[in-house]
Structure 1
Amino acid sequence: MNYFQLPSQTIKDKSIPKKAFYEYTTSKQKQLFIDVVDKIKWQYKLASDTINLEGIEVQEIQVFEINLKQKKNIESVLPIIEKAIPYHIIFMISFNDEVMLYTSQKHAHPVNENNSVVDWIFKTDWFNRSLRKYTINLKESLDKIFSDFCFQLSNNSDPGSKKNLKELIEKEQKIQELKNQIIRLEAQIKRTKQFNRKQPLNGTLNQLKIELKSII
């Protein structure tokens, strides 16, 4: 199925054997591949030779569909595929009629050019395949195409925002950092019995929540 309704010249529709990635796995990850992943398909290739658009940071965008045997979280498997393929990848994880989209901004490893360093992950919750909530918009450049898609997946981007992807990632990281601080502080307050010690902790907690609300 041409889910993203992209031009015919971008369609690959080629199966990729799971064993192609086994050499990059631990024994536990390999077993997850075997138990959970049914099929891996290379669905689309977005590059200068398929859409006549180029990029500076993004040279190609590959779209893979991964069909699951079981509806399980396979986020420990996806970085393995990303490690094996240096290009930016959009994953469409499928189970029956449900879909989850996942991608990551990454850059080349400064020492090992065959590896990539993931800067940030963007993903959706599960949703019905019939709901075309997300699109790959072929416009301007490969960098713009990928950035636009990441903004769609982000829960923290402002509609019509003019920020670039780097700024969005910095915002996502700050939000996650504040959420982690709040979780740790709430746990500390719960453990603290003395009222006089709880007061300053509650004050700090309120400040963090105000800061988080101002960013979101």
Structure 2
Amino acid sequence: MPRGTVFNRRIPKQKFYENLSVTAELKRVFVEQINVIYWKNKIAPSTVNIAAGETVDEIEVIEIRLNQPGLDKRVLLLIDKEIPYHILFLLVHEGKVQAWIGYKEQSQGKLAAFKPGAYYHTEWQPVDELSLRLDGLNMDSVYESFIRQIAGDSLEDKPGGDLKDAVARDERRQKLQKEIVILENKVRREKQFNIQVALNGELKRLKKELEGLGRECKEMILLYPR
């Protein structure tokens, strides 16, 4: 990240659960899974030569140093809800890092709170090998670029395509995959033939819809090669 964006301030993890209605289980996650939290960078028109966006004012880079190689996603969701800006998370453990980012959509109007949605992440890799480009002419496009870099092939779409639609398509794809696995298990367990027929019909419909999503993505790639 550019030198001007460096903030590097430690944030006591208690701040995220002391005065909030957090369950005892989630509080235990903070205590057991997290070592320390740092606000590493602030990417904004005031720190980089990038114009303001219509929905993205600034992007905070939050580094979470872990006690184990993984973090309950509910922690990211809680932090995303409490900080009224877009966030790029860096999870660090034993010299390796994983970048996480959530598609954070504004609920209603410019002054309304943001609504965290789908999350995407990179694989674990050595800290010095993580490379995220600061691409874009305004903060909206920088944020979108981060999501696309981190999501990779999960958001197969035409260049310049609508990010919201790409995320919705990916969420639907993931939901279909889960539903198909559940139905396949039900079919294997079901003894009654007529119920098997009904389940197989629904299974065929879901698979056809999933294939349609995949075909749509392939057609976009052929029409709009990267």
Give the alignment's TM-score, normalised by structure 2: 0.82
Shift in CA distance, 114/96, structure 1 to aligned 2, threshold 3 Å: farther
1:46 aligns with 2:43: yes
Please list, as runs of the form range in 1=range in 2, the aligned pairs for 1:32-181 lying within 5 A after superposition: 32-53=29-50, 54-110=52-108, 115-132=113-130, 134-154=131-151, 155-158=153-156, 161-181=159-179
Q: Deviations over 1:46-84 (max 9, x none)?
A: 111011321111111000110011223321211221122
Match of 2:8 in 1: 13
Q: Following TM superposition, by how much is the alpha carbon of 1:89 offset from its aligned partner in structure 2, in angstroms?
A: 0.3
Summarize the Cα distance change of 1:81–1:172 in structure 2 as closer, same or farther, 3 Å threshold.
Answer: same
Tell me the CA shift for residue 196 of structure 1.
Answer: 4.8
Q: Secondary structure at the residue paired with 1:86?
A: coil
Return the TM-score normalized by structure 1. Answer: 0.85
Question: Is this contact kept in 2: 1:101–1:123, CA < 8 A?
Answer: yes
Please, which runs of 5 or more residues in structure 2 have no aligned partner? 215-226
Q: Report % sequence identity.
A: 30
CA RMSD in angstroms, aligned pairs only = 2.3
Counterpart for residue 218 of structure 2 = none
| 5+ residue gaps, structure 1 | 1-5
Please report how far the alpha carbon of residue 156 of structure 1 lies from its aligned counterpart in structure 2 after TM superposition: 2.0
**Cα distance, 1:153 vs. partner?**
2.2
Cα distance in 2 for partners of 1:159, 1:105 equals 16
CA contact (8 A) 1:65 1:92 kept: yes
SS at structure 2 position matched to 1:105: strand
- Structure holding more helix per residue: 2
From 199, 202, 215, give the equivalent of 1:201.
199
Residue in structure 2 matching 1:190, options 174, 185, 188:
188
Deviating more after overlay: 160-169 vs 43-52: 160-169
Rate the CA distance shift 1:101–1:190 in 2: closer, same or farther, 3 A.
same
The amino acid that maps onto 2:121 is: K
